[in-house]
């Protein structure tokens, strides 16, 4: 058979490398009211939804139900719907539009009793700069700036949100 390695005079044709280049980003994940898991996710070098690199928040917007998560014991697939919080490095999530974002200081309680305070942020028209407006954006996860991390919080896991004062609106 032609191209068969066993056949005399056969030609080795290398398989093309069809892998897409990605970068590894360390994150922490709070699953379904359990405990924090540390590991990494793999993000595209270019986002398919906006200019620049893919972010964790872009990955969570996708319709797919599972996310590859590498941790010490190996890689497992996480059901995105069961992820309550993802803590990603702020430098991965905050860009030049952060300065234009509506920002409100809040404390969020997540199912399972976990509470976190920080600055809720997102792009809103000037006339819609309330906490409720940020929570009602058509996105599955809200973004909360917390020190050197951004917490991506699944809205379906939020029990309550309380404004803590301060914050710049718009």
pLDDT tens, 143-154?
999 999 999 999
- Judge whether residue 163 has pLDDT over 80: yes
pLDDT tens, 96-132?
777 778 899 999 999 988 899 999 998 887 677 789 9
Output the pTM of the full model: 0.82
CATH ID of 22-90, from 2.30.30, 1.10.260, 2.60.40, 3.40.50: 2.30.30
Reported confidence tier of residue 79, pLDDT bands at 50, 70, 90:
very high
| Pairwise CA distance, residues 31 & 2, whole Å | 53
CA separation, residue 16 to residues 11, 13, 19, 44, 46 (Å):
15, 9, 9, 20, 21
């Amino acid at each position: 058979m032609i191209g068969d390695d066993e056949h005399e005079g056969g030609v080795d044709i290398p398989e093309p490398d069809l892998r897409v280049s990605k970068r590894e980003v360390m994150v922490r994940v709070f699953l379904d009211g359990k405990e924090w898991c540390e590991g990494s996710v793999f993000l595209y070098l270019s986002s398919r939804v906006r200019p620049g690199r893919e972010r964790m928040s872009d990955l969570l917007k996708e319709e797919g139900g599972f996310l590859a998560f590498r941790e010490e014991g190996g890689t497992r697939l996480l059901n995105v719907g069961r992820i309550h919080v993802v803590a990603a490095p702020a430098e991965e999530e905050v860009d030049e539009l952060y300065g234009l974002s509506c920002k409100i200081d809040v404390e969020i309680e997540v199912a399972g009793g976990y509470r976190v305070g920080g600055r809720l942020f997102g792009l809103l028209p000037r006339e819609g700069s309330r906490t409720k407006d940020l929570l009602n954006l058509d996105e599955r996860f809200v973004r909360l700036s917390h020190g050197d991390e951004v917490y991506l919080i699944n809205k379906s896991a939020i029990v309550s949100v309380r404004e803590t004062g301060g914050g710049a609106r718009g």
